[in-house]
Structure 1
Amino acid sequence: MNKNSFAKVPPMGWNSYDYYDTTVNEEQVKANADYMAAHLRDFGWEYIVVDIQWYAHKAGSMREQFQYIPFSELEIDEYSRLLPDPERFPSSADGKGFGPLAEYVHSLGLKFGIHIMRGIPRMAAQNHMKIKGSDVTADMAANPSSICPWNPDMYGLYNSPAGQAYYDSLLELYASWGVDFIKCDDICNTCNQSPHRENQYNAAHEVEMLANAIKHCGRPIVFSLSPGPALIDRAWHYEKYANMWRITDDFWDEWKYLKDMFRRCELWQTQVSEGCYPDCDMLPLGWIGKGFGKERMTNFTREEQRTMMTLWCLFGSPLMLGAELTKMDDWTLSLLTNRRVLALLPPSCRPRQICLDEEKAVWIACDEKEGTLYIALFNLGNREASVCASLDEIGKEFHGDVDLTDLWDGTSRRSVNQEISAVLPEHGCAVYQVSM
């Protein structure tokens, strides 16, 4: 799969899930796209991604009982392919699908993406519906023992010509709509499937089938795998067939999840390369949670938000915002548009964690193209503390002290006694460019 030709840096964009859950509609997607084009596009933010259940009628109408309504009505075409719900996405009516919405997003200089569940709709199998390009119907391609325990919409597919024909027809459809990004769910780690607990990557063949369909659809489409945690012993497989893969389950705005991400990033730090990005999941910043009935400003403190952005950028994770962008405050916007911090993202900036314990973490990174050296100090403790690292730990030979430029505020200072240190607030960080 020639994935590296169109994902040279970690994808950056917006995803509807953290704010809207299953309920986002066309007007809301356009409003967030308008905001991104006006305020974020020039800083590298470019993807607008419609997350789960865009095909489900009355999605979210029974949220107190179900996140995903069992056996609900789904919009579907004659070839077993799900279509946008025309009530929420009016421009999709008369078989237009997401074509008009993608065209609108593209007109803003942005890219358009969608969430999909792996497999084929259960209703297609139950009704023996057609598969385009195959004489076999959906019931023969579907594997009834391969199910998602938290979403009732799909069966997995057998590794068969009919299964490949189905995925080929899906990508043909998505390419005709102008889709640039696919987030495929229930595929990166399927450990919750009770019949397959002994094999957490039992859908690996479907990753390959989707990658093959993308390769032949005639359009460059970024391929993202969810949910995590991804399996480090299968890193080679993720890298071969996908562009990004989740290294965690759903990430939310609680410190325990952010602190744990330092361990996860250390595990995956050597796997970041052009077109291949271990994914720390979405950034729960700004206003989130409306679709879950718990609309709130993120629970992360400002120091924790800065720590999260620093780690995601240093590590080289994709950056996907979950906020309602039209409610963005100035401080959060400043967090997302700091060019000095965003410059850490390209895979030429090689990261390495050199210290991690319960109270602190230290990361370094060297940009191979620019020859630029960075160091980040993190206070993981629950009180103000000094965090330091000696120049010897960085792994380069320095003759005397060095200049330090703070990437968050642009101020400069010198190291002292060949040591880089900072007094940091609870859960805070400092990140510097190092120069002689």
Structure 2
Amino acid sequence: MQSQSGIPGRPGGSPARRGRGIRTGAAALAAALTVTLGTGAASAQAAGPGPKPKQHAVAVTPGAVTEDPSSAERAAAQKASSAAAADGVAARPLMGWSSWSLQSTNYPGVNPGGNGNWLTEAHVLEQADVLAEKLKPYGYEYVNIDAGWSRTTSWAPGFDEYGREIASPERFPHGMKYVADQIHAKGLKAGIYLAVGLAKEAYAGGTTPIWNAPGCTTADIVYPDLRTTNGWDSSYKIDFSKPCSQKYIDSQARLIADWGYDFLKLDGVGPGSFKSGDNYNNIPDVAAWRAAIDATGRPIRFLVSWSLDRNHAADWKKYANGWRIQTDVECYCDTLVTWNNSVKIRWDDVPAWTPWAGPGGWNDLDSLDVGNGEMDGLSKDERQSYMTLWAISAAPLYTGDDLTTLDSYGLSLLTNKEVIAVDQQGIPARPVTPTGPGQVWGVKNTDGSYTVALFNMGSLPAQVTADWTSFGFGGKAAVRDLWQHSDLGVRDGSISATLPAHGSRLFRVTPKSPAPKTVSYEAEASGNTLVNGASNAGCSGCSGAAKVGNLYNGGALRINNVTVPKTGVYQVNIRYVTGDPRSATVSANGQNAVTLAFPPSGGWDIAATVTVPMQLHAGANTIEIDSSTPVYSPDIDKVEVPLNVR
């Protein structure tokens, strides 16, 4: 059964390679389910697939114009998020374990009864035992049960008399409250899963009564034409102009709160989940869930999923405590994940969302499957890079591994206290040299030091260098290798490492010298030259509250009279603004032009920096930032040139 999916019942199935069509893992999983379910699959399809089978990734078109939330929307979102953190909900990124990676894999022996059938009460509690013993001392505390808990192993759903999902006796014979109680007894927290909308099977001809809402039935909460919603069209869209609708959401929230759950994942949410349009606008659902959760009085951490539309980031931050920024990380294949499908695309996805992460709400990159060795489907270097990106992004750290078979290397990754501390300080890093296979990411820490990560995204070994001036400091700095727990001494100006394919290093860098002198050149300065339609524009988040834009189809900005004391290679910082991925050709004095990738800065009035080495000669120079026909380039705030040369 496939509807952009793989496993019926978890709206969402298999992730896809960005821009390359549906993944073969999804197709294989769907085919396997068709064989497994036989005629039952056909009848389930007629009623609409249930939650989870997953998704088809959509390429982000360079030059596509995003619509930023207004300043008022941002303020409201930040206020709500800060209030949640003050109440102790999502003050830091979540740490724990989730069931879906094991449910979705074809790894031998994991799902012998059929795809998705790993999920049982016994398996969940077994994982909770190991989490409590081996990982809880390091901060891991959530045990999150994903799709399928209310469905039989043939994926038939179960509901109570009020249209609310209840445990499948086949999977959870003691019920969901019992499971939560057992998890709590281990000093852990319990998580549960639902898909957005009214499940088609719960509608039951519109006659199902709503709990604690006399006179209300399911016919009173949906649109008369029974329009569908969510990433799999497995539910009817709820009409929140009807007073009975909030009562239904309240009844579901009350049930999971009474069971004792501390976390809810609401899946298939749009705009996102590779759906758009009015039918798939689930912001009213998310708002209703926020109100319902608050009304229970229980501090339930609330995640919305998946591949959510960044244009609505303020809505996700206002109503939720986390939001999935991309498709599933699982490969729906013979391992849990693979590098190409879809771990590596996270390096492209994260930058656009960075400004939205913070106490009360976090960018969710999905499961962290680095602990099982062969089952993970990754090399050791890839496993380290995977966790490095999650940690520097202040992303939730929840593994989908089989905790009963953690290998020693995986356990060392998951329990590295220095790397966990980077994640838990809650300040996401950004790329500063994102072009080519060698990438440098970093962020200033709360204690004045810097976290600096080096990545080799290429398939061959490569040297990667981080220059201190990319981060706004210079001279000498003490360096500590966080993965190796090793002090490397003092380095002057930069640090380099030769990295294996898909390898990484992670450092804490503490400046020991005064900040270097730099000179800033504003893009909008009158002495610059604007070419082929490039023009000045206002920008509240830019230096001088202005920028240069319309760099398109040959449009260019020439920053004149960039003056340096002597000839050499300078690490030039380009401060730019863009809501989506863009590129530009950069050159100095008409020589050595290079095309740079500019990751999203996070919004059209939020500035970010990339660094490019440029050969400048003593005296005055001209730096040109030129669009490549017919590609849009980012808007430019300014360039910063250090007065020291490498």
Q: TM-score, normalised by structure 2?
A: 0.60
**Structure 1 residue 390, shift from structure 2 partner:** 1.3
SS across alignment from 2:424:
coil
1:45 matched to 2:140: yes
CA distance 1:394–1:415, shift in 2 (3 Å): farther
Deviation per CA, 1:100-123: give whole Å up to 9, x if none: 110110010100001111122322
Equivalent pair of 1:350/1:367 in contact (CA under 8 Å) = no
SS across alignment from 2:479:
strand
1:301 matched to 2:379: yes
Deviation per CA, 1:388-429: give whole Å up to 9, x if none: 021111112x4x321110000112224544111111111101
Name the structure 1 match of 2:338. Answer: 254
The separation in 1 between residues aligned to 2:375 and 2:411, in whole angstroms, is 14
Name the structure 2 match of 1:218. Answer: 297
1:17 matched to 2:97: no
1:132 matched to 2:227: no
Name the structure 2 match of 1:82. Answer: 165
CA distance 1:30–1:191, shift in 2 (3 Å): closer
The separation in 2 between residues aligned to 1:113 and 1:182, in whole angstroms, is 6
Highest CA radius of gyration, 1 or 2?
2
The separation in 1 between residues aligned to 2:151 and 2:233, in whole angstroms, is 12
Letter in 1 for 2:453: A
Letter in 2 for 1:277: W
Name the structure 2 match of 1:63. Answer: none
The separation in 2 between residues aligned to 1:114 and 1:151, in whole angstroms, is 21
SS across alignment from 1:216:
helix
**Structure 1 residue 90, shift from structure 2 partner:** 1.4
Letter in 2 for 1:163: S
Q: How does 1:421-436 map to 2 (within 5 A)?
A: 421-435=496-510, 436=512
SS across alignment from 2:256:
helix
Partner residue of 1:203 out of 270, 275, 282: 282
Q: How does 1:45-194 map to 2 (within 5 A)?
A: 45-59=140-154, 69=155, 72=156, 74-92=157-175, 98-127=176-205, 128-134=207-213, 135-143=215-223, 144-148=226-230, 150=232, 152=234, 154-159=235-240, 160-190=242-272, 192-193=274-275
The separation in 2 between residues aligned to 1:3 and 1:172, in whole angstroms, is 19
Equivalent pair of 2:195/2:230 in contact (CA under 8 Å) = no
CA distance 1:280–1:192, shift in 2 (3 Å): closer
Letter in 1 for 2:210: I
1:401 matched to 2:476: yes
**Structure 1 residue 328, shift from structure 2 partner:** 1.2
Partner residue of 2:449 out of 368, 372, 378: 372
**Structure 1 residue 287, shift from structure 2 partner:** 4.6
Equivalent pair of 1:250/1:281 in contact (CA under 8 Å) = yes
1:241 matched to 2:316: no
Equivalent pair of 2:358/2:427 in contact (CA under 8 Å) = no
The separation in 1 between residues aligned to 2:424 and 2:298, in whole angstroms, is 23
CA distance 1:3–1:156, shift in 2 (3 Å): farther
SS across alignment from 1:258:
coil
**Structure 1 residue 199, shift from structure 2 partner:** 5.3
The separation in 1 between residues aligned to 2:339 and 2:152, in whole angstroms, is 36
Letter in 2 for 1:429: S
SS across alignment from 2:444:
strand
CA distance 1:251–1:189, shift in 2 (3 Å): farther
Letter in 1 for 2:256: Y
SS across alignment from 1:29:
helix
Letter in 1 for 2:167: P
Name the structure 2 match of 1:269. Answer: 354
Letter in 1 for 2:193: H
The separation in 2 between residues aligned to 1:185 and 1:101, in whole angstroms, is 21
Deviates more, 1:313-322 or 1:410-419: 410-419
Deviation per CA, 1:30-79: give whole Å up to 9, x if none: 000000000000101000011102111234xxxxxxxxx5xx3x221111
Q: Percent same amino acid at aligned positions?
A: 31
Letter in 1 for 2:339: W
Deviation per CA, 1:113-145: give whole Å up to 9, x if none: 011111223223124111013222112213421
The separation in 1 between residues aligned to 2:463 and 2:490, in whole angstroms, is 14
The separation in 1 between residues aligned to 2:405 and 2:359, in whole angstroms, is 33
SS across alignment from 1:383:
coil
RMSD between superposed Cα atoms in Å: 1.9
Equivalent pair of 1:224/1:243 in contact (CA under 8 Å) = yes
Equivalent pair of 2:481/2:507 in contact (CA under 8 Å) = yes
Q: How does 1:296-375 map to 2 (within 5 A)?
A: 297-368=375-446, 370-375=447-452
**Structure 1 residue 316, shift from structure 2 partner:** 0.6
SS across alignment from 1:402:
strand
The separation in 2 between residues aligned to 1:417 and 1:394, in whole angstroms, is 14
Structure 2, unaligned runs of 5 or more = 1-79, 105-115, 331-336, 513-646
Equivalent pair of 2:144/2:192 in contact (CA under 8 Å) = yes
The separation in 2 between residues aligned to 1:216 and 1:37, in whole angstroms, is 30
Letter in 2 for 1:263: D
The separation in 1 between residues aligned to 2:361 and 2:455, in whole angstroms, is 26
Deviation per CA, 1:206-250: give whole Å up to 9, x if none: 01000110111110001001111x222211111100011011011
SS across alignment from 2:343:
helix
**Structure 1 residue 357, shift from structure 2 partner:** 1.8
CA distance 1:188–1:358, shift in 2 (3 Å): farther
Letter in 2 for 1:145: R
Q: TM-score, normalised by structure 1?
A: 0.88
Equivalent pair of 1:350/1:366 in contact (CA under 8 Å) = no
**Structure 1 residue 251, shift from structure 2 partner:** 1.1
Q: How does 1:400-419 map to 2 (within 5 A)?
A: 400-414=475-489, 416-419=491-494
CA distance 1:415–1:156, shift in 2 (3 Å): farther
**Structure 1 residue 201, shift from structure 2 partner:** 5.6
**Structure 1 residue 169, shift from structure 2 partner:** 0.7
Name the structure 2 match of 1:95. Answer: none
Letter in 2 for 1:37: A
Partner residue of 1:392 out of 469, 473, 484: 469
SS across alignment from 2:431:
strand
The separation in 2 between residues aligned to 1:157 and 1:202, in whole angstroms, is 11
Deviates more, 1:382-391 or 1:127-136: 127-136
Deviates more, 1:113-122 or 1:408-417: 408-417
Equivalent pair of 1:125/1:142 in contact (CA under 8 Å) = no
Equivalent pair of 1:265/1:315 in contact (CA under 8 Å) = yes
